[in-house]
């Protein structure tokens, strides 16, 4: 067994205090996202973990890219027939999380996922590079395949088929929007006494702020 007990890091870069932050969770998310964008130590600020409950009853997490956010929710794209797509169809309760290590910050979002309107998925699909469009057509995401060579041959065939042709979005591919019910902001602090501020959505389209023990 490899012993990792000696791994230690003291988090001392910032603090998260109620009297210095917005009472609106989305305003605080936007501020933190901008600060992460402006950092030269984070390569993909929009990389986030999506956790779902699979058809087998087990939770599963994977990293995807956030493509849009607003008061309405957080948008990402995937194959609807993928493992995560089937999980969301069966149970739309999901968790999103961001970890910006160099800023010693996490954001954890509990919410409900729903498909975006087809025209929104169409518009985003049309904005993707042609190679990414072809990738969405070629891959039956999460399905078992015999070899990578099969994928590459399918890609070659479709590259020939769609020379000088527009590629339509597959019906099985599109976006989800996650409506946040809770958003927790985590700021690392010394002695493992981290700051944790949780916002809960209320019926008045506002947020209830709570401090959690680390």
Active-site residue set: 192
In 3D, which of 38, 33, 129, 30 has the Cα closest to residue 70? 30
Q: Identify the three-state secondary structure at position 5.
A: coil
**Residue 107, H or E segment:** strand 105-115
Q: Identify the three-state secondary structure at position 86.
A: helix
- Do residues 141 and 78 make contact, with C-beta atoms less than 8 angstroms apart? yes
**CA pseudo-torsion sign 124, 126, 132, 136:** positive
**CA pseudo-torsion sign 17, 19, 23, 28:** negative
In 3D, which of 142, 143, 205, 135 has the Cα closest to residue 167? 135
* Cα–Cα distance measured from residue 107 to residue 16, given in angstroms and rounded to the nearest whole number: 12
């Amino acid at each position: 067994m490899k012993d990792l007990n000696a791994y230690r890091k003291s988090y001392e870069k910032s603090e998260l205090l109620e009297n210095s932050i917005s009472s609106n969770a989305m305003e605080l998310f936007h501020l933190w996202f901008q600060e992460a964008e402006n950092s030269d130590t984070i390569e993909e600020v929009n990389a986030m973990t999506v956790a779902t409950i699979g058809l087998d009853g087990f939770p599963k997490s994977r990293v995807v890219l956030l493509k849009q956010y607003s008061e309405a929710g957080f948008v990402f794209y995937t194959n609807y027939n993928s493992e995560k797509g089937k999980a969301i169809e069966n149970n739309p309760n999901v968790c999103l999380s961001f970890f910006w290590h160099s800023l010693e910050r996490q954001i954890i979002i509990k919410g409900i996922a729903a498909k975006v309107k087809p025209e929104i998925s169409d518009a985003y699909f049309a904005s993707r590079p042609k190679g990414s469009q072809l990738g969405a057509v070629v891959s039956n995401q999460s399905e078992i395949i015999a070899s990578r060579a099969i994928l590459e041959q399918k890609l070659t065939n479709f590259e020939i088929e769609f020379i000088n042709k527009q590629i339509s979005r597959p019906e099985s591919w599109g976006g989800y929007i996650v409506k946040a019910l809770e958003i927790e902001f985590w700021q690392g602090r010394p002695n493992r006494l981290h700051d944790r501020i949780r916002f809960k959505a209320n019926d008045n389209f506002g947020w209830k702020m709570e401090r959690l023990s680390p």
